[in-house]
Amino acid sequence: MRIIISVFVFLFLINNKNSAQNTKLYIPLNIQKAIDSGTRSNNGKPGINYWQNKSEYKINAEILPDSGYLIGNEVITYHNNSPDTLNNIVIRIYQDIAKIGAVRDWYIGMEGLNKEVKINYLIISDDTLDLSPKSKNVKRGSTNLSVRLNKPLAPKANVEIKTGWEFKIPKKFKIRMGDYGNGNLYVAYWYPEVAVYDDIDGWDRLDYQGSVEFYNDFSDFDISLKVPAGYVLWATGDLQNAKEVLREDIYNKYKKAQQSDETVNIITQQDYEKGIVTSSNEFNTWHFIAKNVTSAAFAMSNSYNWDGASVEVDNKTGRRVLTDAVYPDSTIHWDSTAQYARSTIEYLSTELPGYPYPYSHATSYCNGRRGGGMESPMMANDGATLGKSRHIGLIFHEIAHNYFPFIMGTNERKYAWMDEGWASFLPMEVVNKYVPEADYGKYYVTSLSRSIGNESELPPMVPSYSYKGRYARTGFYTRPATAYYELKELLGKELFKKALLEYMNRWNGKHPIPIDFFQTFNEVVGEDLSWFWNPWFYEFGYPDLAVTEAENGNGFVTAKIEKIGNIPTRVSITFEFEDGTKKIIHKSSRVWSNSKNEFNIRLDSKKKAVKITVGNDYTVDTVKKNNVYEF
């Protein structure tokens, strides 16, 4: 059926007076308002009035690894760069997702749940706030704390927030972080954090419910973490006191790894056998500083191996990035991970997108569980996958998130595809380099062909928090990754890369939304690509190609190729002749631009064709029965 009927009004294709010239993309009213106010523009660039808020966090915490308890205090300086007077502030308590009574996207029972994060005090502008359930100024929800300010925060002003808190790091309900036992912990989203106030929605009041991830401002962090001697810490940011907290020989290997192309075994099991690998104080305080990042995480262990290598990411300055791996001894594939990470950083910095990795390190931490991973700036919490291609893909995927959403501060709650799609698409060449038989592109095409068009499968532009069930992975990962795969084929690698770099340069350190991405590509390419954007990102539907007519003529063969589904994809046509020979013709999805739904192809040949097939292993096509025409 050629007419795809949307059940959501916002998915209808309309001409909008606020869209770029000739662009036929739906723009919701709240985004139209932002364009009218000058914070966004019609060409994909930040508007002349664009703004975003920011915080500085000074955090001190102590971690008790035996009990998995964390006790912390922080001072936050929050800068209101908006034109609005803020009468309240929303503070995120992300780890309240593990408390009894929290709203979650799935049922888990009572086992493994904790008490809510204990807030010992909250002081805003020297006002000590009542935190009791009867408080008139503080309302605590599932994972948000909404505070009414006694003194409103004026535009261009800042406010100081002081708080102390404590909680038990989850040991059973481990979602994206947790206590993995034996003193091995990966801890993310662990401190009270000011929510995003932006030009689109104002305060982001969505509770963290588990399925969709995060949306954070770019902030500065000064973090001090106190742990018992013998525990090594890795974290977002630069370690300020490595010489004081590491044993001298370990420190020397750490410094060597920062300049080495080859892997340096910074900590081995033999190092542990020699004694404590840290300074021998009863406790050590590890000090990290990170600038202009969206969050901060840390990991710790007193038994894991630590490997490191480095790679030059900017030949103009010679700047190098440490690619290190932290893992349980003898975990399959992990002894090569520092090099897989090195190849990842090199590819991202020089090939695609070709944007030098901006941070000092990319640390991959293995939690020992099977599969899965979670990103934090400069850090990744990875599982122990068995297959080599899966392992390399996982390492690359989580490191790629340092670009999307950590350079490009996208709202993962609403637009998960804006980071997961890129992190799923970009590993292709590196995975295929190490494991050619993995055939990364074929894997994604096959996966999407199986899932797209199902009743429960939603277009990526449906806000991500609306997704429920297993088809979220299609909308967040598989469909956008395959769309980028098609877009690269359509534009050619160089133009695709040029447009992607322009998008990144425009929105580095900012909060882009989908229309900013679409319009930037349109402008760089010099073409209205709404014929591509609409079906791939906005519409319900599926790709379906067919050979509907064919003829053996006198010295030629013709075939009619129809696009029966609404989603445009590349076309591969295979002519098979009576003598057993074949001729294959490839075309990009551009053949479907300008609302075309069919085209005729003629092949000059004195031989008679016996069969014509449309599609191959790299063509997304949900209906295979109409792909073959036999004479």
CATH code, domain carrying 585: 2.60.40
Task: Out of 492, 515, 538, pick the residue that ends a domain.
Answer: 538
Q: What is the mean pLDDT of the chain?
A: 94
User: Does residue 587 lie within any of the structural domains?
Assistant: yes
CA–chain centroid gap for 409, Å, is: 10
Supply the range of the domain harboring residue 610: 545-630
| 22 pLDDT higher than 60 | no
Q: In 10 A of CB 144, how many CB atoms?
A: 20
Where on the phi/psi map is residue 266: left (φ > 0), alpha (ψ -120 to 50), or beta? alpha
Q: Which of 56, 366, 59 shows the shortest CA–CA distance to 191?
A: 59
Over residues 606-619, the mean pLDDT reads: 96
**Beta carbons of 515 and 31 less than 8 angstroms apart:** yes
How many residues make up the chain in this entry? 631
User: Does residue 99 lie within any of the structural domains?
Assistant: yes
* Encoded tokens for 473: 């992975």
pLDDT bucket at 4, cuts 50 / 70 / 90: very low
Which pLDDT value is given to residue 581?
A: 97
* Same domain, residue pair 390 and 462: no
pLDDT bucket at 594, cuts 50 / 70 / 90: confident
Task: Out of 185, 210, 235, pick the residue that ends a domain.
Answer: 210
| 15 pLDDT higher than 70 | no
pLDDT bucket at 20, cuts 50 / 70 / 90: very low
* Same domain, residue pair 369 and 438: no
* Same domain, residue pair 256 and 401: yes
User: Does residue 124 lie within any of the structural domains?
Assistant: yes
* Encoded tokens for 94: 């992300």
**Beta carbons of 155 and 82 less than 8 angstroms apart:** yes
* Same domain, residue pair 29 and 109: no
User: Does residue 418 lie within any of the structural domains?
Assistant: no
* Same domain, residue pair 55 and 184: yes
Q: Is residue 405 reached through a cis peptide bond, with omega within 30 degrees of 0 on the bond before it?
A: yes
The residues, any chain, with a CB within 8 Å of residue 408's CB and separated by 6 or more, are: 418, 419, 503, 504, 507, 508, 510, 512
Which pLDDT value is given to residue 5?
A: 35
Percent of the chain with pLDDT over 70: 96
Local structure of residue 47 (DSSP, 8 states): P
Q: Is residue 436 reached through a cis peptide bond, with omega within 30 degrees of 0 on the bond before it?
A: no
| 3 pLDDT higher than 60 | no
Q: Which of 501, 504, 499, 573 shows the shortest CA–CA distance to 532?
A: 499
Q: In 10 A of CB 252, how many CB atoms?
A: 14
Gap between the Cα atoms of 73 and 161, Å rounded: 11
CA–chain centroid gap for 252, Å, is: 34
| 217 pLDDT higher than 70 | yes
Gap between the Cα atoms of 423 and 477, Å rounded: 8
152: exposed, middle or buried (C-beta count within 10 Å: 0-12, 13-18, 19+)?
middle
* Same domain, residue pair 305 and 374: yes
User: Does residue 336 lie within any of the structural domains?
Assistant: yes
Gap between the Cα atoms of 176 and 483, Å rounded: 27
Over residues 537-542, the mean pLDDT reads: 98
266-314 confidence digits (pLDDT tens): 999 999 999 999 999 999 999 999 999 999 999 999 999 999 999 999 9
Q: Which own/partner pairs from 8-11 qualify as long-range (CB within 8 Å, at least 24 positions apart)?
A: 8/462, 11/459, 11/461, 11/462, 11/538, 11/539, 11/540
Q: In 10 A of CB 315, how many CB atoms?
A: 10
* Same domain, residue pair 513 and 576: no
* Same domain, residue pair 492 and 360: no
Total domains present in the chain: 4
| 16 pLDDT higher than 70 | no
Q: Where are the alpha helices (DSSP H) in 139-259?
A: 242-245, 248-257
What's at 302, amino acid-wise? N
Which pLDDT value is given to residue 595?
A: 86
* Same domain, residue pair 288 and 380: yes
Gap between the Cα atoms of 560 and 251, Å rounded: 68
* Same domain, residue pair 183 and 303: no
Q: Give me the CATH number covering residue 342.
A: 3.30.2010.30
Q: Give me the CATH number covering residue 460.
A: 1.10.390.10
* Same domain, residue pair 295 and 393: yes
* Same domain, residue pair 508 and 559: no
Which pLDDT value is given to residue 23?
A: 61
The residues, any chain, with a CB within 8 Å of residue 306's CB and separated by 6 or more, are: 232, 265, 266, 267, 324, 325, 326
Task: Out of 179, 210, 241, pick the residue that ends a domain.
Answer: 210
What is the helix (H) or strand (E) element at residue 64, kind and residue range? Answer: strand 54-64
User: Does residue 423 lie within any of the structural domains?
Assistant: no
Where on the phi/psi map is residue 378: left (φ > 0), alpha (ψ -120 to 50), or beta? left
385-435 confidence digits (pLDDT tens): 999 999 999 999 999 999 999 999 999 999 999 999 999 999 999 999 999
The residues, any chain, with a CB within 8 Å of residue 550's CB and separated by 6 or more, are: 557, 558, 559, 560, 609, 612, 629, 631
3-state secondary structure of 153: strand
